[in-house]
């Protein structure tokens, strides 16, 4: 029996989030990434109760770099495991890489940082080929105001204005290593890398930056929200389909990939090393 | 009553192509882009029999720049027409721009060129966020061999080896103004612009170029196929989901757009002007 670490990609459109809904017994079970993953693993003689994950994603949120781990008896190669696993998964979820991990590896506790991307599409009219993975907004935004707002997010702050911790009374302090926007014509992409994120935090940060970019709020409102937390009126939530979990980075190098997929450190993770000194 | 010219975008995944299936009366009518468009127009008091189109697309093929035309009594602005039209369309098809056109404008006969893009994803493992709009291939291809193959396509040739004309005994001579590949990591994008295309022509051209890129055929096989036509064994067909109709360009400027969408000429169309002198 070995512990395996796996990088997953999924299109969140038709999933009710990552996590299997374990409470009670609903008449029709929700379709989640976890339930599809576990059903596929059972075809490979997996006997576990639940896979371990680096973090949940909400209904409609996508992933290109989600990480899970599980124990499995497997006599063939890692490449064979990847192929067999993929053969049992539906078309909207796929195993991008497989590696061996130490027996005590848990992706949530071993994770040093998570990176998310959020895509905006600035256009007055709908576009079916873009909006599956982006939030369409109009009027256009002022990118410089949004870059300034994003720069205020970097560092160790109380993000209680932008989300709730997963555990009741948990800390709302998080460290952001990188945050910024890039523009490709009408598509704007926000990338944020932090040690961890509160529930709904990235989508709330995107929403307030769109308010700033469209001129309804000033960039330094970010500073006020970070300083005053829940005392200020709560802002809205950007829709799920623009958000993708792109990468989970780990403190050490756990396991060798089966393919040429990058299991390694990011620029963001280099900042972590500085941070944790 | 005015004639309107409209640019459409659609995600072809859940359409059985563009054209309404008019022959006979099937028990369950196929879902096509044309039938959705015409149903939406009837909500705007359109009384026509069929919209005019620049060209059909096959089952599963996408479009960001399909062009249609129709006659309509409309008392409000072009922007209002676009909004009302979009409000009656399903989420996988959208009106990107609306303009007025001369009363005799027909997008098929007025079109000077069409541009298509085909996306390849070079990777050994599935990726749900990419493969909705790309064909995944493995092993990786040699881009230089494919660029050389693409360069042979430019010019006026008999493409009978790569498709059939829409009318029986129609000409198989077509003129290609531009053809080439660009690479963005694992995603390769083929763009081709020509005066018109045979049935399945772009997908057959992509397939043979992948054969060339993966080393099973030599680049100059394109020259032999152009010279010898149907005397050589027919090659395969790249799958529909990688293909997008991106632009239809017209000989003259027909109609003003309702939005900032580009109704104008492309670099490709400039080559047409040279060609038609």
- A11 chain-B contacts, CB cut-off 8 A: 128-129, 132
Q: Is the peptide bond before A23 cis (omega within 30 degrees of 0)?
A: no
Which of A62, A125, A260 is best to mutate for the B interface (most B CBs within 10 A)? A125
The answer to whether the CB of A223 falls within 8 A of the CB of A148 is no
pLDDT band at A78 (very low <50, low <70, confident <90, very high): very high
Beta carbons of A244 and B129 less than 8 Å apart: yes
Element (H, E) at A30: none
Residue A167: which residues within 8 A CB-CB, separation 6 or more?
none
Q: Looking at the annotation, which residues of B are catalytic?
A: 58
Mean predicted lDDT score pLDDT of chain A? 90
Check the CA dihedral A58-A59-A60-A64 and report its sign: positive
ipTM: 0.87
The answer on pLDDT for A9 being more than 60 is yes
Cα–Cα distance, A101 to A148 (Å, whole number)? 40
Which of B36, B126, B259 is best to mutate for the A interface (most A CBs within 10 A)? B126
Nearest to A125 among B82, B131, B133 (CB): B82
pLDDT band at A25 (very low <50, low <70, confident <90, very high): low
Cα–Cα distance, B265 to B115 (Å, whole number)? 12
Q: Closest by alpha carbon to A206, among A227, A188, A232?
A: A188
Entry pTM: 0.89
Cα–Cα distance, B174 to B158 (Å, whole number)? 6
Model pLDDT, residue A277: 30
> Per the structure block, which two tokens stand in for A262?
């990058």
Q: Closest by alpha carbon to A159, among A58, A229, A57?
A: A229
The answer to whether the CB of A203 falls within 8 A of the CB of A241 is no
- Indicate the SS3 state at residue A173: strand
- Other CB atoms within a 10 A radius of the CB of residue B165 amount to 18
Model pLDDT, residue A41: 98
Residue given tokens 């003689």 in the structure block: A45
Rounded (5°) CA angle A78-A83-A89: 125
| Whether A58 is catalytic | yes
Model pLDDT, residue B223: 98
Q: Does B86 touch chain A (CB under 8 A)?
A: yes
Q: Does B117 touch chain A (CB under 8 A)?
A: no
Encode chain B (277 residues) as per-residue pLDDT tens digits.
Answer: 999 999 999 999 999 999 987 655 556 778 999 999 999 999 999 999 999 999 899 999 999 999 999 999 999 999 999 999 999 999 999 999 999 999 999 999 999 999 999 999 999 999 999 999 999 999 999 999 999 999 999 999 999 999 999 888 899 999 999 999 999 999 999 999 999 999 999 999 999 999 999 999 999 999 999 999 889 999 999 999 999 999 999 986 544 443 334 444 444 644 444 333 3
Model pLDDT, residue B61: 98
Model pLDDT, residue B275: 36
Residue A181: which residues within 8 A CB-CB, separation 6 or more?
A143, A146, A147, A150, A188, A189, A190, A191, A209
Model pLDDT, residue B169: 86
- Other CB atoms within a 10 A radius of the CB of residue A16 amount to 17
Q: Which long-range contacts (CB under 8 A, 24 or more apart) does B144-147 make?
A: B145/B212, B145/B213, B145/B215, B145/B219, B146/B181, B146/B188, B146/B209, B146/B210, B146/B212, B146/B213, B146/B219, B147/B180, B147/B181
């Amino acid at each position: 029996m070995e512990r395996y670490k796996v990088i997953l990609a999924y299109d969140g459109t038709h999933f009710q989030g990552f996590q299997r809904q374990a409470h009670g017994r609903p008449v029709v079970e929700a379709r989640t990434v976890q339930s599809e993953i576990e059903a596929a693993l059972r075809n490979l003689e997996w006997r576990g109760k639940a896979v371990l994950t680096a973090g949940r994603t909400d209904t409609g949120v996508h992933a290109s770099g989600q990480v899970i781990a599980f124990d499995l008896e497997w006599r063939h190669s890692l490449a064979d495991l990847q192929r067999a696993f993929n053969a049992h998964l539906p078309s909207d979820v796929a195993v991008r890489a497989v590696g061996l991990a130490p027996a005590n590896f848990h992706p949530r506790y071993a994770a040093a940082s998570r990176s998310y991307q959020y895509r905006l599409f600035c256009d007055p009219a709908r576009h079916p080929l873009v909006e599956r993975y982006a939030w369409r907004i109009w009027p256009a935004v002022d990118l410089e105001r949004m870059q300034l707002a994003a720069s205020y997010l970097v560092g160790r702050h109380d993000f209680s204005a932008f989300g709730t911790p997963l555990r009741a009374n948990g800390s709302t302090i998080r460290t952001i290593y990188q945050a910024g926007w890039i523009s490709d014509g009408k598509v704007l992409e926000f990338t944020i890398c932090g040690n961890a994120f509160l529930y709904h935090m990235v989508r709330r940060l995107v929403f307030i930056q769109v308010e700033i970019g469209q001129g309804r709020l000033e960039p330094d409102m970010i500073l006020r929200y970070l300083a005053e937390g829940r005392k200020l009126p709560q802002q809205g939530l950007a829709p799920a389909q623009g958000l993708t979990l792109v990468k989970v980075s780990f403190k050490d190098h756990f396991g060798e990939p089966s393919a040429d997929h990058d299991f390694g450190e990011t620029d963001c993770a280099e900042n972590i090393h500085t941070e944790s000194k």
